[in-house]
Structure 1
Amino acid sequence: FINASGSKRQQPLAKFEPQRRYATLVALAIEGMATVTDEIIDLHDRILGKLFNAAKNKHQQQFQASGKAINAKVRLYGHIGQALIDAKQSGSDPFAAIEAVMSWDAFAESVTEAQKLAQPEDFDFLHRIGESYATLRRYAPEFLDVLKLRAAPAAKNALDAIEVLRGMNTNNARKVPADPPTDFIKPRWQKLVMTDTGIDRRYYELCALSELKNALRSGDIWVQGSRQFKDFEDYLVPPEKFASLKQSSELPLGVATDCDQYLHDRLTLLETQLATVNRMAQANDLPDAIITESGLKITPLDATVPDAAQALIDQMAMVLPHVKITELLLEVDEWTGFTRHFIHLKAGDLAKDKKLLLTTILADAINLGLTKMAESCPGTTYAKLAWLQAWHIRDETYSTALAELVNAQFRHPFAEHWGDGTTSSSDGQKQQGRKHRPYQPEVWKQPRTDFLHPHLRPVRAVSHQGGQRRRARLDLRARWPAVPRVRPAHRGTLHRHGRLHRSCLCPDAPARFPLRAAYPRPGRHQALHPQGRYCL
């Protein structure tokens, strides 16, 4: 319904018949509620993270500002300690030894100053979070009131604490009621929450909100109506449907569903391959590697492009004619016909003006935007480009068009110089971003940088950075990361987006996309057909 509404524009909705218009508006409302819910939770996460970060910075700044006074006290008590040691060795009066360094009144005053400079025993900054309590109180009651939270058993105590806070907000209570849930309080918070006079209201609420944030990230608490924080069970196939597919042997898997048979086949293959490697190692027949007493030695790779090739590259660049990029795209379209995939959303017709269509695609490709592209191209208006983008250019049309180009590259004889196309890489590109970045605890000291990872990039394919998924007919067997991955600070960072963290597997492959494991002999494996966003 949302796609048919023309990218949420008002004019297409006005043309619909009433029944369809109302259904589309309901769909837009549901989708909008999920988007707003996710944005609210994400904003709370960033606010809480920013408060923690500010408290930590203030704690460190104060300690650094007191560094000179702390150093003076350390030097003073070093002199006093040495005087006491000398007094013990000589058998003289220790109090007189102290007064020889400084007067007794000055010594008592210095002890008082040292107590003021001393930090908590665990040197934690958590007590400074209470200074920002008023910031959270501006929105926390309404925030907790609108969310429909559900919890797994591991987070039930934290959810009970949230219910206590809701009741206190409703009754305008200042004190925490008797016997509130406290099992969720971590040892780090114990001294602040559990005081001699009872439970501290500020730190109890701060601790509960912090645990709510962690539970949402880990998936132990989910939100009804949310998209990113929904129940983990909603990502999976319903048990009834799974049982039915299993009973009818229609599970869309490329492996045997009999576990014993599957393990037997894999172990047999593993033993065969290990025997092959062992035999080749004994005969020194391993390609580009040898095994000695000190371990495995790999032959370093030589440069594939000689230095003399640069002169030829420059010469060829001068020979090639200068053409307009739209004319080049039209020529590529004559070879491949990739523009036939950009069909109208409702009518299914092709774009009447291919040059205008390619101009709109080019605006996406170079991140120029429709407004600047319309200003740069005479005879083109923003309205024409926006209409084409709304009705002909979508995620699925990009996917099928890119697959068409990938298949054309795969079939071209010249592409064999880059390999057989059965491996892929994720070459992350570190790009400088905006000056101010959202709070991320693991990189808060670093300037804003972003890693751009193509979801899936065959060796001979042009990757699409817009998050589209490939449908190329490639026999992909392995995917190698080209840069080291940064592990999230919290294990739920990727889970809340419906993804699992894997360093060498692509979790975003579409349904029915053939993934294959990397085996030495290509004829021995079967295709895997992952469902949705999860891969084995």
Structure 2
Amino acid sequence: MDTWDLPVIPSNRKKRLANIVRNNSNHYLQRIKPQKRYPLLVCFLRETLPDTTDSILVMYHDFWTQALSDAKKSLEAYQLGVVKSQNQAVKMLTKTVEMVVDDTIENQYLRSKIFENLSKETIQEALQVVLKIAKLAYQTPLFFLLKTYARFKQFTPYLLRVLDFKVAFSKDNFGTGLDLVTLLQNGTKRKLPESAPTHFITQAWQKVVIIDKILQAPAYELCVLSVLNDRPQSGDVFVELSSKYADFNSFLIPKTRWQVASPEICLPFGGLDMDKRIDDKVFELTDLLGPLADLLSDGTQIRLEDGILVVPPLEAENLPESVKESTTADQQAVAPRWPGRNDP
């Protein structure tokens, strides 16, 4: 499709030809002469491809949204379970301490009394739970998102292989990371190198990607896929065969056409020298500011006071007596017809 010289066909005509294919049956298309049928099909395919690409990226975004939502719910359930286990542990340890401070229990019988009510294993488990209160194993939904890595792996290798993602913002080396993850996802590369770029990793992802200064491969891949989900929305990543996520420059006048048409386009603005045009406007504005400053300093109603522009409120215009009399007469004529009026 890249070799087809479709730009010579106006955009609206391509859409019209594509709609002919969409709105008719296969039997109708088969009866059309090949000289006309094949251009129709070519335009249909060319117009359908960007729409299909956009639909795929929208589904990818929706999948990420649902995955993050499920991870947040899992975190909430985990935290709720932790709170319940902590409450039970505190109750057990409280009961143990109560027996320790109970003066009615002699020291030589204290240990046996405690184990008579609570087993040693139960007390040890409660102690471990309390010691881990300040150090929860999972403090972010991303830990639970890692458990869905296998679900992502079912389609992301094909997604990265089929869609040609282009990186517009390259200062954080995300393009290198994307190429690396593409190789890992498709099995071309087996191991994540230690020199993998990490500048694009946010603080939230660093907690799961970098553990003990070591990059975790599944977490790294999900992090790259997460960035790939976010950046098409801002244009930092684009797909050429797309309408919604295309390169920003594709919406501008092509360079070849601009070189030919730029003199005519820029003629109303004073030519191609935009810097000179801006300088002229600045000088023109400067010339107007002088008389304006003199006018405001004359002490009229609109004036400058200590560098502050003062604009007094507008006064209501006094109506002539003839207008007032006419208005009163009209009101008196209409008043008897008002709904709900009680005549004397």
Name the residue aligned to 2:16. 3
Q: Which of these residues, 191, 198, 210, is aligned with residue 175 of structure 1?
A: 191
Alignment of 1:308-327 (within 5 A): none
Name the residue aligned to 1:453. none
SS at match of 2:170: helix
Name the residue aligned to 1:213. 229
Cα shift at 1:136: 0.5
- Seen in structure 2, the aligned counterparts of structure 1 residues 17 and 262 have a Cα distance that, compared at 3 Å, is farther
Cα shift at 1:67: 3.5
Q: Which of these residues, 210, 217, 223, is aligned with residue 201 of structure 1?
A: 217
- Seen in structure 2, the aligned counterparts of structure 1 residues 278 and 107 have a Cα distance that, compared at 3 Å, is farther
Please list the CA deviations of residues 459-478 of structure 1 after superposition, one character each: whole Å capped at 9, or x if unmatched: xxxxxxxxxxxxxxxxxxxx
2:96–2:114 CA contact under 8 A, matched in 1: no
1:192–1:203 CA contact under 8 A, matched in 2: yes
Cα shift at 1:141: 0.7
CA distance in 1, matches of 2:66, 2:208: 20
- Seen in structure 2, the aligned counterparts of structure 1 residues 263 and 9 have a Cα distance that, compared at 3 Å, is same
Name the residue aligned to 1:38. 54
Alignment of 1:155-304 (within 5 A): 157-171=173-187, 174-177=190-193, 179-196=195-212, 198-239=214-255, 241-242=257-258, 244-248=260-264, 250=266, 258-263=277-282, 268=288, 278-279=302-303, 283-285=312-314
1:2–1:24 CA contact under 8 A, matched in 2: no
Alignment of 1:316-465 (within 5 A): none
Structure 2 length-normalised TM: 0.63
Query: How many residues align structurally?
Result: 273
Alignment of 1:51-90 (within 5 A): 51-70=67-86
Cα shift at 1:27: 1.0
Q: Which of these residues, 165, 168, 171, is aligned with residue 149 of structure 1?
A: 165
Cα shift at 1:209: 0.3
1:245–1:251 CA contact under 8 A, matched in 2: no
CA distance in 2, matches of 1:53, 1:155: 30
Structure 1 length-normalised TM: 0.42
SS at match of 1:10: coil
Cα shift at 1:164: 1.8
Q: Which moved more, 1:244-253 or 1:218-227?
A: 244-253
One-letter identity of the residue aligned with 2:39: A
Cα shift at 1:175: 3.1
Cα shift at 1:41: 1.1
Cα shift at 1:36: 1.0
- The percent of aligned pairs where both chains have the same amino acid is 24
Cα shift at 1:219: 1.0
CA distance in 2, matches of 1:132, 1:211: 17
One-letter identity of the residue aligned with 1:133: Y
1:124 aligns with 2:140: yes
Cα shift at 1:59: 0.9
CA distance in 1, matches of 2:235, 2:189: 30
User: Going by fraction, where is helix more abundant, 1 or 2?
Assistant: 2
Q: Please, what is the CA RMSD of the aligned residues?
A: 4.5
Cα shift at 1:6: 3.1
SS at match of 2:173: helix
Larger radius of gyration between Structure 1 and Structure 2: 2
1:140 aligns with 2:145: no
Name the residue aligned to 1:112. 128
SS at match of 1:154: coil
Cα shift at 1:50: 1.1
CA distance in 2, matches of 1:263, 1:234: 32
Cα shift at 1:252: 6.9
CA distance in 2, matches of 1:174, 1:311: 86
Cα shift at 1:55: 0.5
SS at match of 2:22: coil
CA distance in 2, matches of 1:248, 1:146: 41
1:155–1:221 CA contact under 8 A, matched in 2: no
- Seen in structure 2, the aligned counterparts of structure 1 residues 278 and 141 have a Cα distance that, compared at 3 Å, is same
CA distance in 2, matches of 1:76, 1:3: 76
Cα shift at 1:244: 4.8
1:158–1:212 CA contact under 8 A, matched in 2: no
1:47 aligns with 2:63: yes
One-letter identity of the residue aligned with 2:20: G
CA distance in 2, matches of 1:310, 1:50: 61
Name the residue aligned to 1:298. none
- Seen in structure 2, the aligned counterparts of structure 1 residues 49 and 139 have a Cα distance that, compared at 3 Å, is same
